[in-house]
Amino acid sequence: MEKKTGVFEGNKKYYYIGGAAAAVLAVLLFFLLRSTLSNQIALPYIAHQKPRVDPHLPDAVALSDKLDEVVFDGLFNISANPSGITYEDGLGELIGIDENDVVTVRLKPKKLWHNSFLLTGEDGDITVSEAEKIYFTEKDLRFTLRRIEKLGSLSPDYILVSQALKQLDFEGPDANNEIHFQFKQDRIWTEADIKEVLSFKILPYESDINASHYPIGTGPYATIHPKEEVSDYYANPTAGVTIPYLSLKPFIDNSTFITEFKNNNINVLLSTPFGAMSPLLEDPEDYFYKSNISTTFFVLLFNTERLNITQRKALRSMIDQRVLINRFFKVGTEQQRHITDYKGNKDNYADYLNYSIFPSSTYYVDEEIVMPVKQIPPEDLSVLPDTIRVQVCLNYGHREELSELAEILNDRSLFKRTIKVTAVQNEDLKKGNYDTVLLAFSGYKSNFLFDLYSIFMREPDLATYKINLKVNPDGSVNPATWRGDNNFCRLSTAGGNDDPQAVLKLLDYMHGFMSSREIGDKQAYARFIDEMEYDMALGKWLFSLPSLAYFSTQFDAASIDLYGVASQLSTIEKWRERED
C-alpha cells in the first residue's frame, strides 16, 4: 500500500533546507560583507585634523607624533617590553664610549630609505617592488642634526641632544663606518643614556629642511602615498614587520569612533571619548584595552584683554574643577563613565584634576617640582561681569568632551555667576570675543619636555599649528612673541591689563623653561612659571583626560606593550595578530 504525506509534511523538508540555506547565506553574507581588517592596523583620525608627520616638532594632533615612531628610525629606537622601556638598534650600533666620553656608533650600512621601494595598489593590496636603493649614510644624520639645531627650543629633540653633545655634529665615518660623538664630560654616560640621547628620528638628507611633513623614513612602515597629506602605510620589506598594512581611517569627529571600532572599521582606538571605558567594548572576546599616561588636558584660558588680574583670580576661584570632573564622568550615576589608568587604578578621577599650568600627570607636579595651590581661596566675585562669556570650537577634536564641558559650564546651578559657553567657529576664536576660551590640549608630554609653547604661543587658530616664538640673535626671547591677538590668552608685552614687566618676565621664564637643556633650570623655571601664573591667573586648569586605547582581539595582546609615557606606537613593528 503507498504512504501519502501532507503538503506541509511534503514541503517541510524544503522549508528546512531553505531555512538552512538562508542561514548559511546570511552567515556567508555577514562574513563577506563585514569589513575585514585582517593583516592591517586601522586607526581613526578626524578628517579635518590631518596628522602631520614631523619627527622633530610636536603637533596639536596627537596622532602625528605617534606616527613618528611608525615611519622613522633613530640611531637607536625606544621600545618597550613587559618590564618597561628598552632601546634597540635603529640605524646605528653602539660600539662604546671611551674615557674621554667619545661615543662610537657604527652606522648600519644596509639600511634603506623607504623610497628604495615602489609601493603600488590600494586598500592593503599593495605590491612592493624594488627601486633604486637609497642607503642611509652619515649625510642623513648630519642633515638631521643640522635641522634639529636650527629648530632650537621648538624641538624637544634639540633639548635632549644638546644636553649631551658638545656640538650637534660628529666625526667620521671611518673605514668601519663608525662615527664618533663627543659627549659632555660631566656625567657617567650609561648605555641607556647614550641610546636615549641618540634616539632622535633621522630624515633623509635630501629632504626640505622646512617641509610641512616628512613622508620618507627608514622605520617599520613606509608611506604608501608620500605626496598626499595623509597616507596609509605599508610594512618596510626590510623591517620584519608582521602586520603589513597600517591604514588611517578619516571620520568626522570622535563621536563615532566607538561605533566604527565596534563595526570593525577600525581595529585600534588610541583614545576613547572621555578617556573612559566603553560599555560597548566590554566583551573581552572581542576587545582588550591598555592605558597609558594622559596626553590631553582641558583648560579655560582667560582673555587678559577682557579680564583684569582681579577678575581672573575671581573667575578662577569661582570655578571648581572637581564639580566639573564629577559631572563630566557622571560620577555616582548609572551612566558613570569609568576610567582606569596604566597603574591599574580605577575611577580615580581626582588624580586627573589639574591645579597648575603643569598638569598633575607631569613630572613637575608628580615630583613636586611645583606644588600647585589646590585650595584656591575664595575671591570677591563681584568684580566679575554678570555673564562670563566662554567660547569653544568643537570642530578640532574632542567634540564629545568639549560639548559635555560646555553643557556643564552652562549649568547655572553650578556657579555663582552666569557662564555662557558658546560654540563658535575656529575663525571666531581669533577675534578674541571671549572672557575665556575652552580648549583641549592634546599630545602633551608629562616628562621633562612638557610644552608651554603650544599653550601660550600658539596662534589662536585650531586649524593650523603655528607657534609664534620670536627669538633674538643672542638667543633671548623677543617681546614681539606676545602681541595680544596671536595667542589664546591675548597676552601682550606691550601692556594691556597686566604689568608689561610681569608679562615680559613670564615670557622670559617660559622661553627659559623651553630652551633649557639643564634639569635644574627646567625645575627652577617651572616653579617660577607656576608661581607667576598663579599670581597672574591666566587660566583655570581643569583636568586631564585619561588615555585609554582599545584593541581588537584580532591582535595578540601580549605583543603590544605600552608603558608610561612611551608613545603608543613605539612598538608597532612587534604587534602581531592572534593565532587561534
Partner 1 sequence: MKLRGIFLIVILFAAGCATFKELTPKPEIVFEENGYLQIRDDDENFELEPGKKYFVKFPPPLSGNIYLVLSVENESSLTTYLTDRFDDGEDVGRQYPNLNPDASGPDVYAIEPGVQSYFWVIENVAGEMKLGMTYRYIAAWRYKFENRYEEFLNVLRENSHDRTIYEGIGSSILAKDIDYEGELAALHAKYQQLETIHGQLNEIKDILPAHILDSDDASYRDYVKLKNDLENEMAFQNDYRSTLELLDASLKAERNMSAFVDNLSQYVQYFDQSAAYPANVLAETKKQVGNRLDDIYEYYDALIKNKTDVTPIDYDAGNLGKLFAACDKSVPADVKKLESFISKYNERANQLIDARSGLAEIKSSVSKAGKWPGNSFYTGILSKLAKLQYRIPRAGTRDFEEYRGTTCVKNLNAEINKLKRDANRRAGQYRRAEALVPSINTLKEQNGYRDIIRLLRENTDLSFLIAQYPDIDKRSLNQQTKSIDAAMRRSNWAAAEKGLRDLFNDKYFFNLKKITKTKIKLVAAYEDTMANRITRSTLGNARKFISENLTTTGDMDAVYANPALQPVYEMTFSSRGKSILAKHKQKLFGKLDQLRYIEFPEKAIKKLYSALTADVTDNGVARARAIVGHGKYYKGSDKKIKKIIGECDPTASKWLTKPKTYRKIFALPITSNLQGENEYMFKINLRLPSEARFPVFDVNIRLPKEIAEDAGNRRWYEKMMMNKKLLKNEGRFTITAPTAANGYECQITPLQVVKDGDSVLEVRFKHKSFKVFEISVMAQRPIMKKN
Residue closer to partner 1, measured from CB, 481 or 516? 516
Would you say 193 or 305 has its CB closer to partner 1?
A: 193
Near partner 1 by CB under 8 A: residue from 193, 428, 508, 531: 193
Q: In whole angstroms, what is the distance from residue 5 CA to residue 482 CA?
A: 93
447 binds partner 1 (CB under 8 A): yes
Distance separating the N- and C-terminal Cα atoms of the chain: 56
DSSP element (H, E) containing 504: helix 500-515
Interface with partner 1 by CB under 8 A: which range of 59-67, 347-355, 366-374, 416-424?
A: 366-374
Does 373 bind partner 1 (CB under 8 A)? Our answer is: no
Residue pair 404/325 in contact (Cβ under 8 Å)? The answer is: no
Pairing of strands 387-392, 436-441: parallel
Q: Which of 164, 222, 270, 277 binds partner 1 (CB under 8 A)?
A: 164
- DSSP of 319-351, one letter per residue? --HHHHHHHHTTTTSTT----B-TT--BS-GGG
- Candidates 518, 535, 558, 578; binder of partner 1 (CB under 8 A) is 518
Rounded to the nearest whole angstrom, what is the least distance from the CB of residue 552 to partner 1 in the complex?
26
Smallest gap from Cβ 563 to partner 1, in A, equals: 8
Nearest to 147 by CA among 84, 94, 72, 93: 72
Please report whether residue 309 would count as binding partner 1 according to CB under 8 A. no
Q: How far apart are alpha carbons 289 and 44 in whole angstroms?
A: 16
Closest CA to 230 of 94, 46, 101, 474: 46
Binding residue for partner 1, selected from 21, 280, 371, 494, defined by CB under 8 A:
371
- The reply on whether position 196 binds partner 1 by CB under 8 A is yes
Pick the closer one to partner 1 by CB: 174 or 367: 367
User: What residues from 561 to 580 belong to the interface with partner 1 (CB under 8 A)?
Assistant: 563-566
Nearer Cβ to partner 1, position 105 or 314? 105
Q: Does 191 bind partner 1 (CB under 8 A)?
A: no
Query: Residue 185 CB, nearest distance to partner 1 (Å)?
Result: 7
Q: Judged by CB under 8 A, does residue 426 bind partner 1? A: no
Report angle CA 566, 291, 217 to the nearest 5 degrees.
35
Q: Which of 12, 139, 184, 374 binds partner 1 (CB under 8 A)?
A: 184
Q: Under the criterion CB under 8 A, does residue 121 sit at the interface with partner 1?
A: no
Whole-angstrom distance, CA of residue 71 vs CA of residue 55: 9
C-alpha cell at 62: 596627537
Of the candidate spans 192-200, 226-234, 414-422, 484-492, the one that interacts with partner 1 by CB under 8 A turns out to be: 192-200
Q: How far is the CB of 201 from partner 1 (least distance, A)?
A: 12
Binding-site size for partner 1 (CB under 8 A) equals 39
Distant-in-sequence contacts of 90-94, Cβ < 8 A, 24+ apart: 90/199, 90/202, 90/218, 91/136, 91/141, 91/202, 91/218, 92/198, 94/191, 94/194, 94/195
Based on the shown chain and the rule CB under 8 A, indicate whether residue 160 belongs to the binding site for partner 1: yes
Does position 419 interact with partner 1 (CB under 8 A)? The reply is no
Measured in whole angstroms, how far is the alpha carbon of residue 548 from the centre of its chain?
12
| Beta-strand pair 418-423/387-392 | parallel
Helix (H) or strand (E) holding 27: helix 7-33
| Site of interaction with partner 1 (CB under 8 A) | 78, 85, 156, 159-160, 163-164, 184-188, 193, 196-197, 199, 367-369, 371, 445, 447-449, 512, 516-525, 563-566
